[in-house]
Amino acid sequence: MGWTAIQSAKFYVDKPSTRRMVVVMVTAGAGQIARLNCLAAGADDFLSKPVGPQELLRRVEHQLERHAARIRGKLAAGDPD
């Protein structure tokens, strides 16, 4: 049996070299429990299948903009990490 989406998210969030990576999870789980589990695992966003390509694109763009803003803020504050 392969890894679950939750295990994958935790792996990347816990690993120092990928800790800052944006994680957008797309799963078949549609309920609030699935969403909360994904977010608790470190996902930045969550989508339930089926998902249209435009919604996926907008969600990824939004997360990348948020990530870029955080980096700009840290750099402006002199925090290189």
**Residue 4: pLDDT over 70:** yes
Buried b / exposed e along 4-25 (16+ C-beta atoms within 10 A):
ebbeebbebbeeeeeeeeebbb
Domain limits, the chain = 5-76
* Pairing state between β 24-27 and 45-48: parallel
The answer to whether the pTM exceeds 0.85 is: no
pLDDT over 70 percentage in the chain: 95
Q: How confident is the model at residue 1 (pLDDT cuts 50, 70, 90)?
A: very low
Does domain 5-76 fall under CATH 3.40.50.2300? My reply is: yes
